[in-house]
């Protein structure tokens, strides 16, 4: 599947959109006809805005003002997630006793303050080497999808988190909105409210 922005020249020149297959927080998936080579494809048309509204102009400067130089220097790209993970790393380093779930809750609280009423779609998945932590959260919009399984027959003894179910099995469960999921191989799944 190819992902393009709705204003992209590629979209207008190379594809004819035929039917909507599905819609979500990031955009719309279309069945489309590609001009050359002539074939049917699935095309994800991304919304014009970012996952965090006005990230580059308004949101990023607030993050940069709070990041220590060492963590700012570690950001090599230009995406929202790289900045958010730098904040998470800094929170954990500044308080070695801070549990990951508390750091994630603190990060989400800061995002809400920085967003100042703006729109944010947030799925965050991290690990401390022993457990998986996943947060499904949104501000001023619907939450993006996030699923997990600990007992899918196709993935024996695995704990998986994905934005969509990887199999058709009924073993996949949705991470509830505004929750932190903790998967520990020795414990049942745990959910904490943000």
Domain residue ranges of the chain, discontinuous segments joined by +? 2-46, 55-193
Helix, strand or coil for residue 86? helix
Question: pLDDT class for 85, splitting at 50, 70, 90?
Answer: very high
Contact partners, residue 141, CB within 8 Å, separation at least 6 = 25, 119, 120, 121
Residue 5: alpha-carbon gap to chain centroid? 18
Q: What's the pTM?
A: 0.71
What pLDDT score does 25 carry?
60
Q: 88 falls in which pLDDT band (50, 70, 90)? A: very high
User: For 103-150, how does the pLDDT look when each residue is reduced to its tens digit (9 = 90+)?
Assistant: 999 999 999 988 888 888 888 999 988 999 999 988 888 888 899 998
Q: In 24-37, which positions are buried (b, 16+ CB within 10 angstroms) versus exposed (e)?
A: ebbbbbbebeeeee
User: What fold is seen in the domain 55-193?
Assistant: 3.60.20
The share of the chain scoring above pLDDT 90, in percent, equals 33
d(CA 25, CA 38): 29
């Amino acid at each position: 599947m190819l992902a393009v922005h709705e204003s992209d020249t590629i979209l207008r020149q190379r594809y004819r959109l035929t039917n909507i297959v599905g819609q979500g927080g990031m955009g719309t998936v279309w069945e489309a006809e590609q001009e050359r080579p002539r074939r049917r494809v699935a095309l994800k048309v991304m919304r014009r805005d970012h996952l965090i509204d006005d990230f580059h102009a308004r949101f990023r400067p607030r993050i940069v003002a709070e990041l220590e130089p060492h963590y700012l220097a570690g950001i090599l790209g230009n995406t929202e997630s790289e900045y958010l993970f730098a904040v998470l790393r800094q929170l954990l380093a500044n308080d070695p006793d801070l549990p990951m779930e508390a750091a994630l809750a603190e990060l989400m609280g800061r995002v809400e303050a920085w967003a100042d009423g703006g729109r944010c779609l947030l799925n965050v998945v991290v690990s401390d080497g022993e457990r998986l932590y996943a947060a499904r959260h949104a501000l001023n919009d619907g939450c993006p999808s996030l699923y997990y399984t600990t007992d899918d027959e196709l993935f024996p003894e695995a704990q998986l988190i994905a934005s969509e179910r990887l199999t058709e099995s009924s073993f996949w469960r949705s991470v509830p909105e505004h929750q932190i999921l903790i998967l520990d191989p020795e414990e049942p799944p745990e959910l904490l409210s943000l």
